[in-house]
Structures are given as C-alpha cells and as structure tokens.
Amino acid sequence: MKSLIVYSIPAFFILIAIEFILDKIKKTNYYRVNDSISNINSGIVQQVTGVLLKLFNIGIYIWIYDNYRITTIPSTWYTWILLLFAVDFFYYWFHRLSHEISILWGTHVVHHQSEEYNLSVALRQSATQVLGSCWFYLPLAFFGFDPISFIVISQIQTLYQFWIHTRMIHKMPTWFEFIFNTPSHHRVHHGVNPIYIDKNHGGTFIIFDRIFGTFQPEIETVHYGITTPLNSWNIAIANFDYYGWILKQIAKVKNVKDFFLVLLKPPGWRPEYLGGVILPKAIEPNRTLYNANASTKIQIYIVVHFFLLLAFVSYFLFGIEQFNLTKQIIGIAFIVLSTITIGTLFEQKRWPVVVEIIRLLLVFPVLYFLING
C-alpha cells in the first residue's frame, strides 16, 4: 500500500507555492530560497530512506499484533476515532521525550533546525526519526488495533501537522485552540525563547499538553531554530551533527555511568569534567540568521536542478513497487547524493562542485538502470 503522504506530495507543494507567493506579495519575508530547499531536501531524504526503514517499523508492529495481541479491536468509525486519540497520545510521549532524552533528540533535531517558520518546515524531517518513534506505538499492537488501521490513522495524524507550520494564520477560534494543535501552539514549540523551549508537544491535539503540564500559549514573538545553530545547508550534517556531538562526549567519558547519562540525560548534558551542561544562549532580538548564499547564477542553477530532482523523486516514489531492492538502493543513494550537493552548493565551497560534476555524470546511467536494468 502506497503511503498517503506520498499521494499528498503534490498538495504539499501547491500549498507551499501559494504561501510563498503570498509571502512575496505581502513582503512578510517568511521564506528564503536556501532555507526552503534545505527543508524540502530533508523531507526528500526522510521519504526515500523510509522506503527501506518502513519494513523495520511496520514489521515489528505486525509481528506483535499477529503473535501477542491480547484482543482484537474491530475496525469501525468509532474505533478509528479512539485510535486517533491513542496514536496522538503515544506521539505526545515520543515527541516530549525526544526533547528530554539526548539520544532521542538526535532522531528529531532536524525538524527544529530551520530558523524560519513556514509550510516547507513541515517537510523538514529526520531520516532516523522512525528508529526512535516506532517503539512508542507498540502498545497499540498489543491492544489489538490492526496494522492497516494503525498505518492509516498514523498517516492522517502526520498529515494534520502540515498546515500548522505557518505564520500566515494567527489564531483559530477559541474552542479549536483549546482542543487541537494550531499554528499558534506549534510556533511556540519551534521557539528557542526560554519560555517556549520544550513546550506544546502535541500532534493533532493540544489536550495532552494541557493535561501533563507542557502547554504554553504564544505570548511573545517567536525566535525559531535550535539553541546551537546548525549553520549548514548540508543534509548529511543536518542528520548526523548531533550524533557526532554525542560520540565525542562518549569517547571522553571516564566511566560506564556517564556513558549512559550522555545518552539518556537531556540534550547538551555532559559531566562536569567535560565542561558540564551546555546551557542555551540568550536570544538576541536582532540576531543574524545563517544565510550562506551563492551568486545569482549559482542560485538559478540550484533551483533548476532542485526542480529536476523533485521530478525524479516523484517518479521514484510513485513507481517504487516496480523496482527491486537493488534498484531501490541505487535510486535512494542517487537521491541522497543529489540533496547533499544541491543544498551545499549554496555554501560556496569547492568540494560540492566536484561532487556535483560526478552526480551529473551519474544521472543518465542511473535513469537507464532504473528503467531498463
């Protein structure tokens, strides 16, 4: 069964284009080309690598459901509503703990790296998030929610979260703001203002934040990003920079206890002999956002090849069933390489130019292999 998210891709880009045009008309400056391409590149990598990881994710759920469920819950409209609340409940706890446990933060940090906030940020997802999140939903398999219902409701819960990544909508009606996650609530979640950090973890609903004490209304201008800015458009760095930091701390710890504490304490924790906890820096209202950018000619080249990449990704994802495992791996590797070089060309370094030349030489051989191999 092809993912509902894959079928929704055209709608995503139409809505992003509409918001982008409105941004230019209103001169609100919510979009920067380099940031938006980086966001979408992250989503591309998450989707194509998910082709392989979904076997791990869904496979565990199906195995538990087939062998260890304690009952069988019928698939009806009211059990689907119950399942939506249940999925959002377990999502809340994954999402909250991914902000409170260092190793889980590594699976989620990518989504928070953008210093802007617009619909393209919704697509900015970590390639490794499923490795941290899948365990939280397994109680639903034990309870007897069938895998198809779980997959469909999980994707609906994910799709809901697309529209809340906008600054164009200020507030929804009061009753809606009380029950559901909204752009206002989720802007708070993406804020690095001290009052906003680690708040509003809900997916579809905000009620779990209200119940468990993590709700925070939007009361001051939100500053977006992470407390230690990434300062790179390289998708490989985006996905693995924090893991690299963890490995550096682990290599220096003096005992087993600190080894596990580095993994399980909040992000930025390290023992006193390594410098202690890294505290968030004060937010400057007029801070300079990372904006490494190339010449106009290079930007035009990047945008053209970015759209060509989108066309290739669409062909690959919509036709995934026709490719065997070897073709899938080759296609995924080429797409990941493309996102890395296309994004990093903004940074005006030499190595992306060399890798881009290699990528261009591979385009037709890869296409030929996928079509005729």
Higher per-residue confidence, 56 vs 118: 118
Do residues 45 and 235 make contact, with C-beta atoms less than 8 angstroms apart? yes
Q: Specify the 3-state DSSP secondary structure of 293.
A: coil
76: which 2 tokens?
């009806």
pLDDT score for 372: 86
What mean pLDDT, rounded, does the chain reach? Answer: 94
pLDDT score for 140: 97
pLDDT score for 1: 52
Predicted confidence (pLDDT) per residue in 224-233, tens digit = 999 999 999 9
Predicted confidence (pLDDT) per residue in 99-121, tens digit = 999 999 999 999 999 999 999 99
For residue 266, pLDDT over 80 is answered with yes
CB burial of 61-76 (b: ≥16 within 10 Å; e: otherwise) equals: bbebbeeebeeeeeee
Tokens 């009061």 -> residue: 174
Least confident of 221-235, 284-298, 311-325, 335-349: 284-298
Percent share of the chain, pLDDT over 70: 99
Q: How confident is the model at residue 2 (pLDDT cuts 50, 70, 90)?
A: low
Give the Cα separation of 285 and 109 in Å (integer). 23
Nearest by Cα to 339 from 238, 240, 242, 244: 238
The mean per-residue pLDDT over the stretch 56-73 comes to 92
Give the Cα separation of 173 and 194 in Å (integer). 27
pLDDT score for 294: 82
The mean per-residue pLDDT over the stretch 250-271 comes to 95
Predicted confidence (pLDDT) per residue in 327-344, tens digit = 999 999 999 999 999 999
